[in-house]
Structure 1
């Protein structure tokens, strides 16, 4: 059977299956807790888009369930985060010696087990504690950070420097567009069939993806049969480390939105990925990579500022407009990093990236949740303004490096021009003049 060098199907099917699962599990947990705490079935046809306007007993019940659901999601995230930090670091690093597929196949096995556990819990109404164990097991298999890191390392192996930026932007676009479409479909899927069949569908998609990775995806190159110790691999990759990429993050469920409204919001967000890919494709032909990153960071800051003052559903949808170029920094930074290291160090590089990005996600979840809880009573948008302010740090750092590089380039061009104007005789006489 002929094998292919196409990593895009793996990323596409994974994004669709996984981001169909995230809204499912969030809403499933919410409804199971609702039934446990209230003893009544969940009123799924009611759209509570403005929770604070309702002071009735129903509103208090929603607040109680939201607290319990938030705690459960926090425990689940912590069960997943810590093992994923270690395993993503090891798997993607070891792919330099064992092949890129080790960082792709193992997380896919974990995703199959993860969605299968939700299917069984939903089908037979098993204890929710089983799902915490499923999160821990998925983390032990590497999780999304390992798979995405392995896919980008795979792409770095098969692309030359000229096409890395666009191909990596294409992968980001696939992640965003298909995840948005999956979220849109999920809302209607839940209303039509409940939770059991969607969880089973996600399990089947992961199985098909695993079969493609095992049987059709070709390894990029032959690897050494005797791998270096993981610590040495990481030290070698860390010598030329670079900026951090951003993987797809588990979407948070907007409070009191129905499943269909959640899907609409995710689907509209796909425009961000399409416009960001178009921006990278067009701007990479005429701008330095650093300038593209700065434009993307400005887009992020503008979107966060607008979100801080958005109080209605319409404004929350319109927040996507200033965010249209916000995904550009991620693929461009990946491309810049990949160009700085040898081909034998791509896995170690993206392993370090996966470790830091998962650590930052966990830290941001804790920090921003605490900040939001402390500031929601006097200004609910403070967290968004803080996020916008934090973008100034990478903007200043990148701007400084860019200015230094421009100075070096200008000096080099000036020296080149002076050398071109000198005659061979003058150049030969210079050493004797300096010696005198």
Structure 2
């Protein structure tokens, strides 16, 4: 059987299955908790009449379900986060020695087990605690960070510089298009067949993806024989992990103070941005299901599709703005759009206004550590504030975007983003340190 150097099908199928699963599992957990706490079936076709009811007891039930759902998502994320942080580093490091498919196949096995667990719990009405175990097991398999990292590393192995840029852009396009399409289909799928069949469909898609990766995808890294005496070609996962941390340390040790300051401010700005953005987005669905919106599963699908599809237009915006603005100013505009979207969502009382908030708030994708931290923090905050102001999480997210704005403004004011070749040569001559010639990416678009 002829094997292929095509990683795009893996990313495409994974994006569709994953972004179909995420809003699916949130709504399933919400409905299960509704039935447990209220003792009444969840009827989505009467959402709006139920929201218009002024019954104080019903309002308290809404708040109780919202609180328990957000706490369940918090526990689930914690069960996934800690093992995935370690395993993703180990798997990506191991893929340098044993082949990229290690970082691709293992997470796919975890996704199969994860969606299969939801299928079984939905089909047989099993305890929701099983799903916490499924999250932990998926984290042990590496999770999305390992798979996406492995896929991009696979491209880096087989492409030269020009082709690499095009194919990585294609992967980003696949993520944007198929995630939006999957989110849009989820609502109609739930309405037509409930939850069991969609979970089964996601499981089958992951199985097909796993079969492709195992049987048709060609490996790019040739692993040394087990009895090889060439120690330079073989490192254990722990040795590879140690080498990564050593490289991170040398990145700072071999750079000037000016570049270290730029790097630290950039990393802090990025981390605060991710926490603010993904923390706010993590409670969007709960907010949409609550009064006064009380969206149905179809409207939730539309909202999720808008949130992911807007990512495509960001490419055009960056391309156009980069012709007349420096990178730092483009970043500031993006942060302003995120803050505006969160503020709009906090006070949204109508469907149209909520759609506009989602449109502004969603500009880019996620990083594992920032996503985990933001989901953990904002889920607990939402549970604590839902009874008095459910939009508080969005105002907090909007406020947090001020921190990366200030950090980027500091970079601009101190002109840390302007680092000329002449300055680099002067620093090298003064310090006689070869590492001073390491060049950091500039924020200057020119």
CA-CA distance at 1:92 after TM superposition: 1.4
Deviates more, 1:183-192 or 1:45-54: 45-54
Question: Contact 2:340–2:360 (CA<8 Å) still a contact in 1?
Answer: no
CA deviations over 1:74-111 (Å, ceiling 9, x no partner): 22222112211111121112212122211111000111
CA-CA distance at 1:239 after TM superposition: 6.6
Question: Contact 2:24–2:186 (CA<8 Å) still a contact in 1?
Answer: yes
Question: Contact 1:170–1:277 (CA<8 Å) still a contact in 2?
Answer: no
Task: Show the 5 A alignment for 1:88-107.
Answer: 88-107=88-107
Q: Flag the 1:386–1:226 CA change in 2: closer, same or farther, 3 A.
A: farther
Q: Flag the 1:82–1:424 CA change in 2: closer, same or farther, 3 A.
A: closer
Other structure's SS at 2:225 match: coil
CA-CA distance at 1:176 after TM superposition: 3.0
TM-score by length of 1: 0.70
Q: Flag the 1:217–1:283 CA change in 2: closer, same or farther, 3 A.
A: farther
Question: Contact 1:85–1:355 (CA<8 Å) still a contact in 2?
Answer: no
Q: C-alpha root-mean-square deviation of aligned residues, in Å?
A: 8.6
Q: Flag the 1:39–1:286 CA change in 2: closer, same or farther, 3 A.
A: same
CA deviations over 1:324-364 (Å, ceiling 9, x no partner): xxxxxxxxxxxxxxxxxxxxxxx999999999943322322
Question: Contact 2:337–2:361 (CA<8 Å) still a contact in 1?
Answer: no
Whole-angstrom distance in 2 between the partners of 1:260 and 1:71: 24
Alignment size in residue pairs? 388
Q: Flag the 1:253–1:139 CA change in 2: closer, same or farther, 3 A.
A: farther
Higher-Rg member (1/2)? 1
Q: Flag the 1:348–1:92 CA change in 2: closer, same or farther, 3 A.
A: farther
Other structure's SS at 1:429 match: coil
Deviates more, 1:423-432 or 1:413-422: 423-432
Question: Partner of 2:156 in structure 1?
Answer: 156
CA-CA distance at 1:206 after TM superposition: 0.4
Question: Contact 2:20–2:182 (CA<8 Å) still a contact in 1?
Answer: yes
Other structure's SS at 1:42 match: coil
Other structure's SS at 2:97 match: helix
Q: Flag the 1:4–1:400 CA change in 2: closer, same or farther, 3 A.
A: farther
Q: 2:398 aligns with which of 381, 384, 388?
A: 388
Q: Flag the 1:375–1:124 CA change in 2: closer, same or farther, 3 A.
A: closer
TM-score by length of 2: 0.69
Q: Flag the 1:95–1:354 CA change in 2: closer, same or farther, 3 A.
A: farther
Whole-angstrom distance in 2 between the partners of 1:309 and 1:403: 34
CA-CA distance at 1:262 after TM superposition: 0.4
Whole-angstrom distance in 2 between the partners of 1:361 and 1:218: 31
Q: Flag the 1:313–1:21 CA change in 2: closer, same or farther, 3 A.
A: same
Q: Flag the 1:298–1:153 CA change in 2: closer, same or farther, 3 A.
A: farther
Question: Contact 1:89–1:352 (CA<8 Å) still a contact in 2?
Answer: no
CA-CA distance at 1:291 after TM superposition: 5.6
Task: Show the 5 A alignment for 1:55-204.
Answer: 55-162=55-162, 167-204=167-204
Question: Contact 2:411–2:417 (CA<8 Å) still a contact in 1?
Answer: no
Q: Flag the 1:278–1:348 CA change in 2: closer, same or farther, 3 A.
A: closer
Segments of structure 1 that go 5 or more residues without pairing to the other structure are 229-234, 243-251, 318-346
Q: Flag the 1:154–1:161 CA change in 2: closer, same or farther, 3 A.
A: same
Whole-angstrom distance in 1 between the partners of 2:99 and 2:363: 18
User: Does the alignment pair 1:261 with 2:299?
Assistant: yes
Segments of structure 2 that go 5 or more residues without pairing to the other structure are 227-237, 248-289
Question: Partner of 2:4 in structure 1?
Answer: 4
Question: Contact 2:338–2:363 (CA<8 Å) still a contact in 1?
Answer: no
User: Does the alignment pair 1:360 with 2:365?
Assistant: no
Whole-angstrom distance in 1 between the partners of 2:180 and 2:166: 21
Q: Flag the 1:99–1:303 CA change in 2: closer, same or farther, 3 A.
A: same
Whole-angstrom distance in 1 between the partners of 2:360 and 2:94: 11
Whole-angstrom distance in 1 between the partners of 2:329 and 2:63: 45
Question: Partner of 1:324 in structure 2?
Answer: none
Question: Contact 1:7–1:154 (CA<8 Å) still a contact in 2?
Answer: yes
Question: Contact 1:12–1:175 (CA<8 Å) still a contact in 2?
Answer: yes
